């Protein structure tokens, strides 16, 4: 089972050449067992709002269609994930990444991410 980092989700839906060969293979192997955190929807919307990401569709439509087309399951940010994110060592300052790391740890998922800081979290398996 595989949790997609926000950039992996965006690239899966819009520019798969940005993914590694290994990442694309893992996505194919994980069909029906692909996950995204609800926090990725917020991150995508904020990136679009700040003109740091351009999408062919409004963020809400982009996320909904991406989830449906690629069979991605959404994991809500519940109190267990929020508390786990707060308890993580102060390795990463980005709150989105802390929540993604906590989600993967709590849900026992591998995280598909190119982020080079995330693998420093104990108990987190990052694949790229």
Nearest Cα to Cα of residue 61 among 73, 69, 51: 69
pLDDT tens across 65-109, in order?
A: 999 999 999 999 999 999 999 999 999 889 999 999 999 999 999
**Domain boundaries along the sequence of the chain:** 2-127
Token pair, residue 55, equals 């999408």
Nearest Cα to Cα of residue 4 among 47, 28, 36, 43: 36
Per-residue confidence (pLDDT) for residue 93, from 0 to 100:
86
| Domain 2-127, CATH | 3.40.50.1010
- Kindly indicate the confidence band of residue 53, based on its pLDDT and cuts at 50, 70 and 90: very high
């Amino acid at each position: 089972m595989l949790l997609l980092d926000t950039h992996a989700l965006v690239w899966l839906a819009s520019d798969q050449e940005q993914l590694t060969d290994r990442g694309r293979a893992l996505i194919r192997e994980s069909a029906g067992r692909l996950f995204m955190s609800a926090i990725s929807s917020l991150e995508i919307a904020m990136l679009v709002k700040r003109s740091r990401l351009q999408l062919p569709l409004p963020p809400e439509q982009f996320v909904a269609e991406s989830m449906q087309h690629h069979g991605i399951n959404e994991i809500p940010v519940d109190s267990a994930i929020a508390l786990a994110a707060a308890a993580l060592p102060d390795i990463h300052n980005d709150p989105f990444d802390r929540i993604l790391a906590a989600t993967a740890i709590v849900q026992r998922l591998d995280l598909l991410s190119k982020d080079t800081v995330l693998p420093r979290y104990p108990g987190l398996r990052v694949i790229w």
